[in-house]
Amino acid sequence: MPGIMKVEHVTSGYGEQMILNDISLEIPSHQISIIIGANGCGKSTLLKTMARLIHPTSGHVTLNNKPITKMAPKRLARVLGMLPQSPIVPEGITVSDLVGRGRYPYQSFMKGWSQDDYEAVAEAMEMMNITEFADRPIDELSGGQRQRVWIAMALAQQTDILFLDEPTTFLDITYQVEILDLLTDLNRKFGTTIVMVLHDINLSARYADYLFALKQGRLVAEGKPADIVTSDLIHQVFNLRCSIMVDPVSGSPSVVPIGRHHVREDEDELATKLEWV
Amino acid sequence: MKAMHGPKHLPILLTGALILLVACIFASLAFGSRTIGWHELLDGLFRPAVQSYEADVVRQRIVRTIFSLMCGAALGVAGALMQSVTRNPIADPSILGVNTGAALAVVIGLAFFNLTSGTATIWFALIGALVTASFVFGIGSLGRGGATPLKLVLAGAATSAALSSLVMALMIPRSNVMDRFRFWQVGSVGAGNIDSIWTFFPLLAFGLLTALIVAPSLNALALGEEMARSLGVRTGLVKLLASMAGVVLCGAATALAGPIGFIGLLAPHVIRLVIGPDERILIPMSAMAGAVILTFSDVIGRWIGSPGELEVGIVTAFVGAPTLIFLTMHVKGRE
């Protein structure tokens, strides 16, 4: 099942407070999409609404034209996985136990662990390079290793669509790149549709096939990074002046912010020296 | 391929637990205010034709032993369930006001309905426990985010405090109520008889079975509300079922034996230290640990209190407090 996910006129929020305002979009299948926007613009709310963690107050999120709120939770969980921003690590849990909990949607009370379950867990740990830690308690791992364990758990769930809410936050740059590379591997190897919220605009522009830019609960732009990332858009979305350069490594657009300090006097000259996109 | 559904040394643990179980059953039958010899023990157990004082003592102790194993198992599982639902390592069913709710119902029964029979007391206590727990769950579920662990704990603590003062207010002017209530209030498994076992059995079976069915969902819930829902867990339903099972288990044990502290706290913690946080093993093993700890405590109480006996509620507090202090010092703190 390819799993075509659409958001149709969704308005959503917590209680009285509306955070998303009439959003419609379609998630590109088999691609990596990244949602960008300023703090509090509704990025996480959009992701949670698409993962049916929040029910929209109006509109629907549909998977293959069926509203996800009408699907059985376990069945949906075999198609759509979500790694929240700060899941809880139970005290003393080992890596393999945690990864194994991703198999929940495939299990039932009468049916114990199947061969498929073991294989899915082993494969997920292999993919995230954590097989050697299988029997170690998670408390002993570094932040980057822990995040790989969580992603392995989500992989063990074997879904066509995977959502991640800021999977690289609190990691240093090396691990951020490592996690994004691993997710790209996953997308290329299995064709998994990945949607994530990311803070770093430059890494977003590099790793995303497709970007959604949100401002105050509204979708203001969407498209390939090279097509939509302009200094105007960044100004509109983040209220930040900037220059756009071409990332010398990937060729994707790269944002160079302009603050109040450390800006050269001769701005015109600066503009000519930088390669504008 | 590594075993991913439990610790590798599970068979050893199970064997150890079984040996402990058999040992405590044996101790409970043989030791007490009067120590029974091997021969008389076998007479009492397997030779119904033999009539002797010792054999009769053993036969009476069989009921007491079964009752205490059942109470311990119920309290151990109730503790494991509550700790899991409230995500609070020091939770036990008293956190939902179960004990005070049961106590209030018993006092009301004694004061206004002239409760005399043991069975009626049981039903009053059980209904009191259930009503209070539902009330606390209801309050804890109000507002944003549903029944969060913190809200449940706060609602439980507030309700418990309010109900305790009601218990006092009802009891103090009525000295006859106070006397009978005090008898119930000190937990004892000596009060158990064959009727209480039959009353207890269906409740215990319901509670244990529900606990085992929700165990995998509790494993997912342990990763956080959002993670659990992403995995397809109906979190509201699971929390409701688990709390209900916990309340029925603890409520039934409390109603029959009086409030017995610490078992619900101690049993799951000991097991968690040994086998880790997998609820599918934790729940059945907590039943085993609760049964063993309570029965051993009862034996100690009979032995120390000889020629009378020391109520098991007092012994568990004495055994439990130091063990809890030991656990706090050795369990790794959360980051």
The segments of chain A whose pLDDT lies below 70 read 1-2, 266-277
Per-residue confidence (pLDDT) for residue B2, from 0 to 100: 39
Query: How far is Cα B231 from Cα A75, in angstroms, rounded to an integer?
Result: 10
Chain A nearest-CA residue for B221: A88
Decide if B277 touches A, using CB distance below 8 A: yes
Between A72, A84, A113, which is nearest B227 by CB? A84
Query: How far is Cα B276 from Cα B287, in angstroms, rounded to an integer?
Result: 16
Between B1, B87, B223, which is nearest A101 by CB? B223
Decide if B232 touches A, using CB distance below 8 A: yes
Look up residue A194 and give its two tokens: 């990945």
Chain B nearest-CA residue for A131: B2
Residue B210, CA distances (Å) to B94, B239, B254, B255, B284 in order: 19, 11, 19, 20, 12
* Residues of chain B contacting residue A133, judged by C-beta atoms under 8 Å apart: none
Per-residue confidence (pLDDT) for residue B334, from 0 to 100: 41
DSSP code string of B39-83: HHHHHHHH-TT---HHHHHHHHHHHHHHHHHHHHHHHHHHHHHHH
Decide if B217 touches A, using CB distance below 8 A: yes
Angle (CA) A91-A97-A103 rounded to 5° is 125
Query: How far is Cα A232 from Cα B279, in angstroms, rounded to an integer?
Result: 53
Look up residue A134 and give its two tokens: 């299988």
The amino acid that residue A65 corresponds to is N
What is the full per-residue pLDDT of chain B (335 aa) written as tens digits? 333 444 556 788 888 889 999 999 988 888 877 777 777 777 777 777 777 777 778 888 888 999 999 999 999 999 999 899 888 777 777 777 888 898 899 888 888 887 776 677 778 888 898 899 888 888 887 877 667 778 888 888 899 899 989 988 888 888 777 777 777 776 677 777 788 888 889 999 999 999 999 999 999 999 999 999 999 999 989 988 998 899 889 888 888 888 887 888 889 988 888 888 899 999 999 999 999 999 999 998 888 877 778 888 888 888 877 877 777 776 654 43
Contact across the interface for B276 and A97, Cβ inside 8 Å: yes
Q: Distance (Å) from the C-alpha of residue A236 to the closest C-alpha of chain B? A: 32
Per-residue confidence (pLDDT) for residue A30, from 0 to 100: 95
Contact across the interface for B231 and A52, Cβ inside 8 Å: no
Closest by CA position to B99, among listed B29, B185, B198, B1: B185
Decide if A146 touches B, using CB distance below 8 A: no
The amino acid that residue B293 corresponds to is I
- Chain B from 102 to 131: CB within 8 A of any A CB: none
Contact across the interface for A88 and B229, Cβ inside 8 Å: no
Contact across the interface for A82 and B233, Cβ inside 8 Å: no
Query: How far is Cα A265 from Cα A276, in angstroms, rounded to an integer?
Result: 18
Crossing angle of the two packed helices B98-112 and B175-185, in degrees rounded to 10:
140
Look up residue B135 and give its two tokens: 């009330």
Contact across the interface for B272 and A135, Cβ inside 8 Å: no
b/e for B291-329, b at 16 or more Cβ within 10 A?
A: bbbbbbbbbbbbbeeeeebbbbbbbbeebbeebeeebee
Classify residue B8 by its DSSP letter: T
Element (H, E) at B84: helix B53-85
Decide if B9 touches A, using CB distance below 8 A: no
Whether residue B40 contacts residue B32, with contact meaning beta carbons closer than 8 Å, is answered with no
Q: Distance (Å) from the C-alpha of residue B212 to the closest C-alpha of chain A? A: 8
Classify residue B148 by its DSSP letter: -
Strands A253-258 and A241-246, by their bridges, are antiparallel
Per-residue confidence (pLDDT) for residue B138, from 0 to 100: 85
Closest by CA position to A126, among listed A185, A187, A196, A188: A185
> Superfamily for B7-330?
ABC transporter involved in vitamin B12 uptake, BtuC (1.10.3470.10)
Contact across the interface for B5 and A100, Cβ inside 8 Å: yes
- Chain A from 155 to 194: CB within 8 A of any B CB: 157
Between B220, B230, B277, which is nearest A81 by CB? B230
pTM of the model: 0.87
- Chain A from 21 to 60: CB within 8 A of any B CB: 48, 51-53
Contact across the interface for B224 and A86, Cβ inside 8 Å: yes
Mapped onto helix, strand or coil, the DSSP state of residue B225 is helix
Best of A101, A149, A159 to substitute, by most chain B Cβ atoms within 10 angstroms, is A101
Chain A nearest-CA residue for B8: A135
Between A14, A87, A134, which is nearest B223 by CB? A87
Query: How far is Cα A107 from Cα B64, in angstroms, rounded to an integer?
Result: 40
Contact across the interface for B222 and A90, Cβ inside 8 Å: yes
Whether residue A171 contacts residue A144, with contact meaning beta carbons closer than 8 Å, is answered with yes
Decide if B330 touches A, using CB distance below 8 A: no
Contact across the interface for B2 and A14, Cβ inside 8 Å: no
Q: Distance (Å) from the C-alpha of residue A274 to the closest C-alpha of chain B? A: 44
Query: How far is Cα B71 from Cα B96, in angstroms, rounded to an integer?
Result: 19
Whether residue A69 contacts residue A60, with contact meaning beta carbons closer than 8 Å, is answered with yes
Closest by CA position to A84, among listed A63, A55, A54: A54
Q: Distance (Å) from the C-alpha of residue A138 to the closest C-alpha of chain B? A: 12
Residue A227, CA distances (Å) to A28, A218, B55, B232 in order: 16, 19, 91, 37
Look up residue A200 and give its two tokens: 């770093």
* Residues of chain A contacting residue B237, judged by C-beta atoms under 8 Å apart: none
Chain B nearest-CA residue for A97: B4
Contact across the interface for B227 and A75, Cβ inside 8 Å: no
Decide if A118 touches B, using CB distance below 8 A: yes
Per-residue confidence (pLDDT) for residue A239, from 0 to 100: 92
Per-residue confidence (pLDDT) for residue A272, from 0 to 100: 56
Q: Is the dihedral of CA A94, A95, A96, A102 positive or negative?
A: positive
Strands ordered across the beta sheet of A5-14: A17-26, A5-14, A58-63, A66-67
Contact across the interface for B230 and A84, Cβ inside 8 Å: yes
The amino acid that residue A164 corresponds to is L
Q: Distance (Å) from the C-alpha of residue B73 to the closest C-alpha of chain A? A: 21
DSSP code string of B153-209: HHHHHHHHHHHHHHHHHHHTT-HHHHHHHHHHHS--STT--HHHHHHHHHHHHHHHH
Cβ contacts from A onto B, under 8 A: 99
Q: Is the ipTM of this complex over 0.85?
A: yes
* Residues of chain A contacting residue B87, judged by C-beta atoms under 8 Å apart: 88
